[in-house]
């Protein structure tokens, strides 16, 4: 809704965002976790985006030596706020996350998942993430290769 400032007919826009309740976010998080578990059992490619498994959430599915690797890509601002904590994120367009249990499981099987490139979520225990100020396939792909350095480049995977 525009607010008239009176000065030269300029308007300021007041933007409000309804905050989701923790229960709504937890329901969405559980839905996404189920989708991740299901995706780990399906056929995979080197770097594949799924359709949205929840509004604003896609899976990034990959594999290394037959082992599934599934990241989640979050793009709704209320979700970013919940994962990062209030005010702990800059103006971001997206967030790439991996469950640390999955990272430990991959490490136990000999796949390095370098969590030093990710931040730990204080509000969602067990989740590590990277923020994107500009979300693009190339940016996501670049971070994926930093976090899992052993992934083959596209040309070798094809």
Domain containing 34 equals 19-157
Give, in degrees to the nearest 5, the angle at Cα 103 between 74 and 141: 50
Predicted local distance difference test score (pLDDT) of residue 123: 87
**Number of domains present in the structure of the chain:** 1
SS3 of residue 21 by DSSP: coil
pLDDT band at residue 156 using 50, 70 and 90 as cut-offs: very low
DSSP count for the chain of H helices, then E strands? 5, 8
Q: Is residue 10 part of a domain?
A: no
pLDDT at site 96: 95
| Spatial separation of the C-alpha atoms in residues 118 and 87, rounded to whole Å | 18
In a domain, 13, yes or no: no
Write the pLDDT tens digit of every residue in 6-18: 444 444 333 334 4
Using one digit for the tens of pLDDT, what is the confidence trace for 61-111?
988 888 889 999 999 988 888 888 765 566 788 999 999 999 999 999 999
Average pLDDT, the chain: 79
């Amino acid at each position: 809704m525009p607010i008239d400032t009176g000065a030269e007919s300029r308007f300021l826009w007041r933007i409000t965002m309804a905050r989701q309740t923790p229960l709504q976010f937890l329901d969405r998080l559980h839905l996404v976790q189920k989708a991740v578990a299901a995706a780990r059992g399906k056929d995979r490619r080197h770097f594949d985006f799924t359709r949205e498994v929840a509004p604003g959430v896609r899976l990034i599915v990959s594999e290394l030596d037959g082992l599934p690797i599934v990241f989640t890509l979050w793009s709704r601002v209320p979700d970013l706020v919940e994962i990062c904590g209030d005010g702990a994120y800059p103006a971001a367009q997206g967030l790439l996350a991996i469950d640390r249990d999955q990272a430990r499981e991959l490490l136990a099987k000999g796949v390095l998942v370098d969590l030093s490139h990710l931040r730990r979520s204080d509000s969602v225990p067990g989740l590590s993430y990277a923020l994107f100020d500009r979300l693009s396939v190339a940016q996501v792909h670049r971070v994926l290769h930093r976090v899992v350095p052993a992934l083959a480049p596209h040309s070798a995977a094809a």
